[in-house]
Structure 1
Amino acid sequence: LFLETLVSTGLPWYPTPTGEFRIWIKLRATKMEGGTGKYYYYLPNVPYVMYFQNSDVPGWRGYGLHGTYWHNDFGTQRSHGCVNLPTEIAKELYYWTSPVLPEGKSTVYADEGNLGTKIVIHE
């Protein structure tokens, strides 16, 4: 076990997928936008993003682990499916996981020689 922390996962109508996944891309920061109506969100510069996928949940679906600057309500369901982490925890996890980020870069994709870390998400 690398770390243990409270997180915020998907709301009941935007559940976080469960199962075994691999991180397929890491971004130092990115914009996240989506939802509709009262569930619309626009979040610039979301920090320490680690998108994950498996054979049932393709990467284009946009599920990830990431830092969270817009709330501090961990331990509750708050997201549109991502795993919201305290930013300092996300930073620690970001630099611990693979694919390994090359020096001077802010984005890295997993490949045959730089596989993404396996993560397990459960209820």
Structure 2
Amino acid sequence: MEVTILVDTPTSIAPTAAPYVAPTQQVNNPPVSGGARWIDINLSTQQLFAYEGDTLVNSFIVSTGVSATPTVTGTFKVYARYLYADMRGPGYFLPDVPYTMYFHKSYGIHGTYWHNNFGTPMSHGCVNMSIADAGWVYNWSTFGTTVTVHY
């Protein structure tokens, strides 16, 4: 199945090291019951947090949508997962985008091989992660994993 989505256009940006951020975010009312796994994306801090119930198990620096093409906010579920997905749009084609997890229409979380500028909005709305980090989230999550996106 080929999916056409709002995908990040390749850019020429010098790689930069993303700063490490210790997992310290606390959640009082998780959107899931028990110890279910869920993902929290903070657009203000450009971070993705992986939770099991109210326990933070991992955190990552990401790149989300730029102001002209922002990442959607709300609470969603992962509805499609692809180890590799081809992404295309007007004037570009990105083959084999790794660890792709769609959570709302064409919005997804995925590995990114065309930039290394995590911590800064860079995308057309998707949540860009390093390939290693996206692999961890892909292997940890499942179909139906709750995804919350907020500022």
TM superposition score category, shorter chain reference: 0.7 to 0.9
Shift of 1:28: 0.3
- Residue 119 of structure 2 aligns to a residue in which SS? coil
Distance, in Å, in 1 between the alignment partners of 2:86 and 2:100 is 10
Report the CA distance between 1:21 and its aligned residue. 0.8
Task: Check if 1:32 corresponds to 2:60.
Answer: no
Larger Rg: 2
Percent identity between matched residues is 47
Q: Which ranges of 4 or more aligned residues in structure 1 deviate by more than 2 Å?
A: none
User: How many residues are aligned here?
Assistant: 96
Alignment-derived partner of residue 111 in structure 2: 67
**Equivalent residue in structure 2 for 1:49, among 83, 86, 100:** 100
Equivalent position of 2:139 in the other structure: 95
Q: Which residue of 2 aligns with 1:122?
A: 150
Q: CA deviation at 1:2?
A: 2.9
Task: Tell me what 1:82 maps to.
Answer: 126
Offset of 1:65 from its aligned partner? 0.1
Which structure carries more helix by proportion?
A: 1
- Normalised to the residue count of structure 1, the TM-score between the two structures is 0.74
Q: CA RMSD in A?
A: 1.1
- Could you list the runs of 5+ residues in structure 1 that have no partner in the other structure? 54-58, 100-115
| Alpha-carbon distance, 1:41 to partner | 3.1
